C-alpha cells in the first residue's frame, strides 16, 4: 500500500505537468482536465491511506465510495466527494466521449472543484 506521502508526491507530480506544459491553455484542455482528476485521485488516496483505507479499483466508484463513506472527515463534509465526482466525470467525458473542453472549461473546473478539493485534503493530511 502506498503511503500518504507517496500519494501526495504523485499528486504534485501530476500538477507539475500542468504547470510545465500549460496543458490547460489551448487544444489540450481535455487532457489537462484528466490530469486534474488523476491529481485529485492521489490527493484522495493520500487521505484514505492516512486513515487506513486502500483504494485499489479504478473501474468504478465502489472502492472509492466505500472508503469515503468510512473516513470521518468525508462523513462530516460530503461536498468534497461531489467535487471529486465532478472531476472524474469531466475526465471520463474527455477521454471516452471525446467531449471538447476549452481553456475556460479547464479553469472553471480547476477553480470550482479541484482547488477546494485539494485544500480540503491538505487541511486534513498530517504530512
pLDDT tens per residue, the chain (127 residues)? 899 999 999 999 999 999 888 878 889 999 999 999 999 999 999 999 999 887 766 555 566 777 777 788 888 888 998 999 999 999 999 999 999 999 999 999 999 999 999 999 999 999 8
What are 66's three cell numbers?
Answer: 466505500
pLDDT score recorded for residue 26: 84
pLDDT score recorded for residue 80: 92
| Residues 6+ away with beta carbon under 8 Å from 41 | 88
Question: What range defines the domain where residue 115 resides?
Answer: 4-124
pLDDT score recorded for residue 47: 93
pTM above the 0.85 mark? Answer: yes
What are 112's three cell numbers?
Answer: 470550482
The number of folded domains in the chain is 1
Question: Is residue 14 within 8 Å of 61, Cβ to Cβ?
Answer: no
The whole-angstrom separation of Cα 14 and Cα 6 is 12
Question: Is residue 103 within 8 Å of 25, Cβ to Cβ?
Answer: yes
Q: How far is CA 124 from CA 19, 61, 63, 93, 127, in A?
A: 25, 22, 20, 30, 9
Q: Which residue has the cell 471520463?
A: 92
Longest dimension (CA), the chain: 40
pLDDT score recorded for residue 69: 75
Amino acid at each position: 500500500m502506498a503511503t500518504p506521502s507517496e500519494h501526495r508526491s504523485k499528486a504534485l507530480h501530476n500538477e507539475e505537468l500542468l504547470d510545465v506544459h500549460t496543458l490547460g491553455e489551448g487544444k489540450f484542455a481535455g487532457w489537462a482536465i484528466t490530469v486534474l482528476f488523476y491529481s485529485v485521485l492521489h490527493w484522495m488516496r493520500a487521505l484514505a491511506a492516512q486513515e487506513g483505507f486502500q483504494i485499489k479499483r479504478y473501474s468504478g466508484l465502489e472502492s472509492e465510495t466505500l472508503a469515503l463513506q468510512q473516513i470521518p472527515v468525508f462523513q462530516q463534509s460530503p461536498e468534497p466527494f461531489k467535487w471529486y465526482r465532478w472531476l472524474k466525470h469531466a475526465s471520463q467525458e474527455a477521454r471516452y466521449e471525446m467531449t471538447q473542453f476549452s481553456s475556460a472549461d479547464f479553469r472553471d473546473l480547476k477553480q470550482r472543484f479541484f482547488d477546494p478539493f485539494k485544500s480540503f485534503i491538505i487541511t486534513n493530511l498530517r504530512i
